[in-house]
C-alpha cells in the first residue's frame, strides 16, 4: 500500500511540473514555429552555428558530436529529468536544407519544460537569433 501511495504522490508532483504563465508568455513568439526549419545554403551556415550555440548554452549534456550535418549531445542517464539532443541538417534539393531537432528525456515521467516548449525555443533561436529562454532556470520555466 505504501508503494502505491508513493507512486501516486510522484505522479501528482510530476503533473505539477508545468510551465508558468510567465514562461508561456516569454515563449509565445515561438508558438507556431513548426517542427523543422528550411534554409538556403548561405542562410544555413548561420542557422547551423546558432543550433550548436543553443545546444552549448541550454543542454545540460555535453556535445558529443558536431559535424556539418549532425550535432548530438550525450544521452541523459535513466531517471535524469534533463534532455539529450540530436540535430540534423539534411539536403532537400536545389541548395536547400531542412534542420530538425529531436530530444530524449531521461525520466519516464517527463522533463520540464515540456518538449514542445524546448523544441519551439530552439527553432526560434536558430531562425531569429533571439533566445527566449534567457533569464529562466532550466528545468523550471517560471
Give pLDDT tens digits for 86-99: 999 999 999 999 99
| pLDDT: which is higher, 68 or 22 | 68
User: In this model, does residue 3 exceed pLDDT 80?
Assistant: no
Backbone angles phi, psi at 66, to 5 degrees: -140, 110
| Mean per-residue pLDDT, 57-67 | 93
User: In this model, does residue 7 exceed pLDDT 70?
Assistant: no
Question: What is the model's pLDDT at position 112?
Answer: 81
Burial profile 22-34: b = 16 or more Cβ within 10 angstroms, e = fewer? ebeebbeebeebe
Q: Which of 48, 57, 34 is nearest to 124 (CA)?
A: 34
Question: What is the model's pLDDT at position 15?
Answer: 41
User: In this model, does residue 142 exceed pLDDT 60?
Assistant: no
Question: What is the model's pLDDT at position 54?
Answer: 95
* 92-131 confidence digits (pLDDT tens): 999 999 999 999 998 888 888 889 999 999 999 999 999 9
Contact 131, 57 (CB under 8 A): yes
Question: What is the model's pLDDT at position 8?
Answer: 39
* 10-48 confidence digits (pLDDT tens): 443 444 445 677 777 778 777 888 899 999 988 999 999
Domains detected in the chain = 26-128 (3.30.310)
Spatial distance between the Cα atoms of 23 and 65, rounded to a whole number of angstroms: 30
Contact 117, 101 (CB under 8 A): no
Amino acid at each position: 500500500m505504501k508503494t502505491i501511495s508513493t507512486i501516486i504522490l510522484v505522479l501528482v508532483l510530476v503533473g505539477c511540473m508545468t510551465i508558468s504563465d510567465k514562461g508561456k508568455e516569454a515563449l509565445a513568439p515561438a508558438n507556431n514555429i513548426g517542427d523543422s526549419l528550411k534554409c538556403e545554403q548561405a542562410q544555413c551556415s548561420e542557422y547551423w552555428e546558432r543550433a550548436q550555440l543553443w545546444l552549448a548554452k541550454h543542454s545540460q549534456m555535453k556535445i558529443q558530436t558536431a559535424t556539418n550535418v549532425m550535432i548530438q549531445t550525450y544521452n541523459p542517464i535513466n531517471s535524469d529529468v534533463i534532455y539529450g539532443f540530436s540535430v540534423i541538417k539534411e539536403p532537400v534539393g536545389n541548395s536547400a536544407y531542412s534542420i530538425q531537432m529531436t530530444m530524449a528525456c531521461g525520466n519516464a515521467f517527463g522533463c520540464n519544460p515540456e518538449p514542445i516548449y524546448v523544441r519551439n525555443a530552439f527553432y526560434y533561436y536558430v531562425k531569429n537569433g533571439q533566445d527566449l529562454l534567457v533569464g529562466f532556470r532550466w528545468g523550471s520555466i517560471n
